[in-house]
A and B are shown apart, each in its own frame.
Chain A
Amino acid sequence: MSVRKWLEFFIESGIRVLGFSSIGIVALIFLFLLREGLPVLVEVPVGNLFGVGWYPTFDQFGIVPLLLGSLLVTIVAILIALPLGVATAVYVREVAPNWAREILKPMIEVLAGIPSVVLGFFGITLLAPLVRETLGAPTGLTAFTGALILAYMALPTIISVAEDALDAVPKSYRDAGVALGATQWQTIWLVVVPAARSGIMTAVMLGIGRAIGETMAVMMVTGNAARLPLTLDSLFRPARTMTATIAAEMGEVAQGSIHYHALFGIAIILFLLTFAINLAAASTIFKKRRRGGLR
């Protein structure tokens, strides 16, 4: 009996350690990023760091074009993915007959499994010429092309989380809507979707988190020009994201150089951004729980 108790104690504490270890690992990663990235604040004058020129081999470490490039590509991607994702979730959850749902749900999960380098290759060979020819951009390797690929990559996340949110809306809401004489469309649009809005916000947050951290596909299709995306046509011009910058330049830098620290500085900003986004997503989930279990 006591052997069994001891065993149980060890297994329980083992599981507890594993559970908390992910927090510990995140903390260690952040500490490592800080250790490697913070020196850049000392080595490079602040005016240079927040300048507009990213020429790391010539001691210009202006992060602004990279930050704006990442934000531009991500925000446009979410603007494209949100309506498509919510509409798909509504169709799968509210409208589709059972057999269609059985096919669609696994297919959407397959979408999430396509390696990003494959999507990038697809983007270079098919999407980029299309963007150039139909939109009249000088080149097809633009922020918009990247946003299209990212939208596609964020879709599975948005669809499945939004679908869960719709699923959690009690059946009584729908019944009440129909009983009041609303059509199915009115019930969905005016009752079910608003009731699931915090879940949909979570879906958007997670989609943004997915999009802003994506590297390979973006590096392949955005052209990687570190220009300031401030003009109106910037969406249809090349852009350079933070992730692509790290990926493209990490292999070359001498360990411990200013450039090396600058790349880790970018990584800190990326980490803080995704952390804030995930925190926002998590807090909407907690708020919902407190509101009385309506998910």
Chain B
Amino acid sequence: MNLDRISYILLICGLFVSGCTTRSELPSQQQALSSTTATIENKGSDTLVNLALAWAERYTGEHSEVHISVTGGGSGTGIAAMINGTVDIANASRAMKPEEITRAEANGISPVEIVVARDAIAIVAHPSNAVDQLTLAQISDIYTGKLVNWQQVGGADRPIVPLSRESNSGTYVYMLENVIRLGEKESELLFSPDTLLMASSEGISTEVRQNPNAFGYDGLGYVSPDQKVIAVARDESGPFVLPSVDTVNDGSYPISRPLFMYTAGEPQGAIKAYLDWVLSEGQAAVLELGFVPIHE
């Protein structure tokens, strides 16, 4: 009775879909309906959300038996949801923290980590800003509040307004560990209390577009042409490198990171098929969205 009702509903849905497509596609639609449908819940990093959406759209276009719902919210949100068992795949722009893994194991889940793409974090400023290049140490000093005027790094006599994502953002954690603390584990440097914490990437780009004093960071995929991207060097001897697919892949751009998908346990069935697709054909979408594919 129940199954009958479900297939009846599916049939109606199928009629709706087929109503919008050509008649010749009807048989394949019905074939899809007769096989089992799968729903994959996918949630997490805001950096990854556009890419994950593009993957989901393309994959479900090819495999109409699979439904994939993608939501953002931040890496921590996605991982927490995966631990609580409400999503199948968590998107994260940082690796899981030890305490998150402990919590997952307490819930009987052993998370599996998959690198799905690479991301470069671009350092951005207002287009009118005269500063073209900075070293990692200078970026660190700006965020910790040691450098407060653009003059100190070769710009105009204006205050620097440092912008960051909120602390639930994977990009925040990455910037803190790899740029502000320059990768030193024992360093206790933090973003200065004067750093503006923006709830979204969009918040940062809005302020960077509007404010000639602004200084921020954002995923390469989110940088729009009306922001100025600053070239970054590991130290004063250079070279100063602008982020691009080439400079990230050859390792010359210093601020880049892997992007992850986490599953609760080894992926199986529809989830495994989807992740395999993401790592092969799906990589074509990575370039188009401004991220860097994991292989050439």
Is A146 among interface residues, defined by CB-CB distance under 8 A? Answer: no
Segment touching A, from B61-69, B71-79, B134-142: B71-79
On chain A, the residues within 8 Å of B173 by CB distance are 57
User: Is there contact, CB below 8 Å, between B103 and A55?
Assistant: no
Q: For B100, what are the chain A residues with a Cβ–Cβ distance below 8 Å?
A: 254
Interface residue from A52, A58, A125, A238 paired with B190 (Cβ < 8 Å): A58
Does A199 sit at the interface, judged by CB under 8 A?
no
Query: Please, what's the 1-or-0 string for B191-232, where 1 marks a CB less than 8 Å from any CB in chain A?
Result: 101111111000100110011011000000000000000000
Contact A224/B74 with A139-B161, A252-B168 known, Cβ cut-off 8 Å: no
Q: Which one of B83, B193, B207 lies within 8 Å of A139 (CB-CB)? A: B207
Say yes or no: is B154 at the interface (Cβ < 8 Å to chain A): no
Question: Given contacts A57-B173, A251-B74, are A65 and B196 in contact (CB under 8 A)?
Answer: no
Q: In the complex, are the beta carbons of B197 and A227 less than 8 A apart?
A: no
Assess whether B193 is in contact with A224, with CB atoms less than 8 Å apart: no
Total number of B residues with any Cβ neighbor in A under 8 Å: 33
Known: A57-B167, A252-B76, A252-B77. Is A140-B193 also a contact (CB below 8 A)? no
Verify A128–B210 contact, CB threshold 8 A.
Answer: yes
A292 to chain B: closest CB distance in Å?
51
A237 to B74, CA, bound (A): 27
What is the CA–CA distance of A238 and B194 in the complex, to the nearest angstrom? Answer: 7
For B103, what are the chain A residues with a Cβ–Cβ distance below 8 Å? 254
Rounded to whole angstroms, the CA-CA distance of A237 and B148 in the bound complex is 14
For residue A170, which residues in chain B have a CB less than 8 angstroms away from its CB? Answer: none
Distance, CA A65 to CA B83, complexed state (A): 32
- Interchain Cβ contacts within 8 Å, total number: 87
Interface flag for B113 (CB, 8 Å):
no
At the interface, yes or no: B99 with Cβ under 8 Å from chain A? yes
Nearest CB of chain A from residue B24's CB, rounded to whole Å: 46
Known A-B contacts A139-B214, A224-B197, A225-B197; A254 and B80 likewise in contact (beta carbons under 8 Å): yes
Cβ of B265 under 8 Å from chain A: no
Residues from chain B with Cβ under 8 Å of A197 in the complex: none
Q: Known A138-B161, A254-B80; judge A240-B197 contact (CB<8 A).
A: yes
Could you say which interface size class chain A belongs to?
Answer: 35 or more
Does B198 lie within 8 Å of A249, measured CB to CB? no
- Shortest Cβ distance from residue B147 to the other chain A in the assembled complex, whole angstroms: 14
Instruction: Give per-residue flags for A204-226: 1 if the beta carbon is below 8 A from chain B beta carbons, else 0.
Output: 00000000000000011001111
Chain A residue with the shortest CB-CB distance to B169: A252
Chain A residues with Cβ below 8 Å from B77 are: 251-252
3 nearest CB pairs, A to B: A252-B168, A252-B76, A138-B159
Report A's interface with B, CB cutoff 8 A.
Answer: 52-58, 65, 124-125, 128-129, 132, 138-141, 219-220, 223-228, 237-238, 240, 248-249, 251-255, 257
Query: Which chain B residues have a beta carbon within 8 Å of chain A's beta carbons?
Result: 73-74, 76-77, 80, 83, 99-100, 103, 158-161, 166-168, 173, 190-191, 193-199, 203, 206-207, 210-211, 213-214
Given contacts A57-B173, A227-B194, A254-B80, 16 further A-B contacts (CB under 8 A): A52-B193, A53-B190, A55-B190, A55-B191, A57-B167, A65-B193, A124-B206, A132-B211, A138-B161, A138-B213, A220-B199, A223-B196, A224-B199, A248-B166, A251-B74, A254-B83
